[in-house]
Amino acid sequence: MPVDELHVIKDNILKHEEWRRSSLNMIASENITSSAVSRAVASALSHKYAEGWPGARFYQGCTYFDEVELNSNSLFYRLFDAQYVDLRPISGTNANLALFFGLTKPGDTLMALHTSHGGHISHTTFGSAGIRELDVKTFPFDEDAMNIDVDRTIELIRETSPRLILFGASLFLFPHPISEVVDAAKEMGSLIAYDGAHVLGLIAGKQFQDPLGEGALIITGSTHKTFPGPQGGMIVTRNMENEDLARLQWGIFPGVLSNHHLHHVAAKGIAAGEMVDFGKDYALQMCKNAKALASALAEEGLSPLCEHLGYTESHQVVLDVSKHGGGKWVAETLEAANIITNKNLLPWDPIEQSEDPSGLRIGVSELTRLGMVEDDMKDVAALYRKVIIDKEDPSMVAAEVTSMRADFQDVRFCHEWDAI
């Protein structure tokens, strides 16, 4: 028995859990799950295969899981007023791959955000779009507004006739202008999709934008960011042509996955039920907290972007820390103080600067789920100042973080497993 290796694995799991309980996790792409979601992930469904559709599986033994999948889908239908739901993708990137393989062919043009403007790597030629051999054209971008330039985008759509226009981003402060380009997209025969990975919980909570209502046919997304479920992906659609929908379904299975991690499907369903019951309150508080944090950071002498636009309408805040040592130093020093966030490219950074960019991307999803509100964001901002501006000993700040975090240990906006 490899006792030493097993001990190291177990010991580091326990250390990670203890650290997380004593830190401020502000990675914008992370969240914390309820006990009910965690119980579903740890269930015996993790041992099972279920290729195919409920009632028409390629494996026996799916009697109970068929009901799990159907009811989980039903909750997503309610949240997104969708006409088709698919919870089989095992990540947001996997969902994007399915989108690309189902609805495009090599050489087709994809319009998406550049990574320096917040675009996700799966939208790029060096990511999933490149695997599909798509010709990627990047949205014209307004750096001052931190958003897509509508007029120049319409011109580019008419110039390039993209097969697929993909909105959505990883650095995502404001809603994207979907309805403004719908007419140009229809004119050129372009499909509109929306990568809602970061803002899926805000969309479900009716606090950001309604991509399907504004003209997108498809939303892909992750189920573990502002949507507080297990790591995984999903796709919802509305008003798609049957032929396109059939190709999309093929892109998912057997296109880019085989079995679809049944325990995560169950956990997605439970998280969706939590969002049906608590999602509006949770999403609203996330948005309030993000604005409050940005304002407090500015008062502490730091430089959140887009003050003239109210800083943010999402769960994210973006800091320019180029005058304070750069993104790499700031992120690493904050980590030493038990504040976990990530460095990030800003629009004016060259892609070659990705190892040490000018920015810091901050998210409030987990802090909100643990019960923090606007006044708490002022305390959080003061901790950032101590680390970034005052250059206080990170270990001393870490003690303050641990003390603060001790009052926020319970997950809110959720159901308990035994109460379901």
For the chain, domains (ranges, CATH) are 36-272 (3.40.640.10), 279-405 (3.90.1150.10)
Peptide bond into 254 cis (omega under 30): yes
Spatial CA neighbour of 77 closest among 280, 234, 256, 262: 234
Structural tokens at position 320: 């320019």
CA distance 135 to 374: 44
In tens, the pLDDT along 256-265 reads 999 999 999 9
Average pLDDT over residues 106-132: 95
Please write the tens of the pLDDT for every residue from 231-247: 999 999 999 999 999 99
Q: Counting beta carbons within 10 angstroms of the beta carbon of residue 371, is it exposed (0 to 12), middle (13 to 18) or buried (19 or more)?
A: middle
Is residue 3 pLDDT above 90, yes or no?
no
Q: How far is the C-alpha of 240 from the C-alpha of 215, rounded, in Å?
A: 11
In terms of Cα–Cα distance, which of 327, 31, 317 is closest to 174? 317
What would the two tokens of residue 335 be? 């980590």
Q: How far is CA 405 from CA 105, 162, 337, 371, in A?
A: 49, 48, 13, 11
**Which is nearest to 147 in space by CA: 161, 163, 168?**
168
Q: In the numeric block, which tokens belong to residue 248?
A: 């999309």
Model pLDDT, residue 348: 92
| Mean pLDDT of all residues in 43-48 | 96
Q: What integer is the mean pLDDT of 129-136?
A: 96
Secondary structure class of 25 (helix, strand, coil): strand
What's the token pair of residue 237? Answer: 């659609």
Of 112, 94, 117, give the one whose Cα is nearest residue 163. 112
Give the tens place of pLDDT for each residue, 299-342: 999 999 999 999 999 999 999 999 999 999 999 999 999 999 99
Q: 114 is written with which tokens?
A: 């550049």
Model confidence at 400: pLDDT above 90: yes
Q: Which are the contacts of 151, defined by CB distance < 8 A and separation ≥ 6?
A: none
pLDDT tens readout for residues 54-80? 999 999 999 999 999 999 999 999 999
| Mean pLDDT of all residues in 172-188 | 98
Helices 326-336 & 394-405 angle (0-180, nearest 10): 60
Q: What is the mean pLDDT of residues 250-259?
A: 94
- What torsion do the CA atoms of 127, 131, 132, 135 make, to the nearest 10 degrees? 60
pLDDT class of 81 with cuts at 50, 70, 90: very high
Tell me the whole-structure pTM to 2 decimals: 0.96
Alpha carbon distance 136, 144 (integer Å)? 24
What is the distance between the alpha carbons of residues 279 and 205, in angstroms, rounded to a whole number? 5
Contact in structure between 194 and 123 (CB atoms under 8 Å): no
pLDDT of residue 354: 87
User: Are 344 and 320 in contact, with CB atoms under 8 Å apart?
Assistant: no
Please tell me whether residue 235 adopts helix, strand or coil conformation: strand
Q: Residue 362: which H helix or E strand, with range?
A: strand 359-363
pLDDT top residue among 171 and 351: 171
pLDDT greater at residue 350 or residue 38: 38
Q: What percent of the chain has pLDDT over 90?
A: 98
**C-beta of residue 361 within 8 angstroms of C-beta of residue 344:** yes
- Binned at pLDDT 50, 70 and 90, residue 2 comes out as confident
Q: Which residues pair with 5 in a beta bridge?
A: none
* pLDDT(1) > 70: no
Across the chain, what does the average pLDDT equal? 97
Q: For residues 236 and 79, is the Cβ–Cβ distance under 8 A?
A: no
The Cα–Cα gap between 19 and 8 comes to 16
Residue keyed to tokens 């949240």: 79
Q: Is 25 left (phi over 0), alpha (psi -120 to 50) or beta?
A: beta
Residue 153 φ then ψ, to 5°: -65, -45
336-360 exposure pattern, b = at least 16 Cβ within 10 A, e = fewer: ebbbbbbbbbbbebeeebeeebbbb
Confidence of residue 136 (pLDDT cuts 50, 70, 90): very high
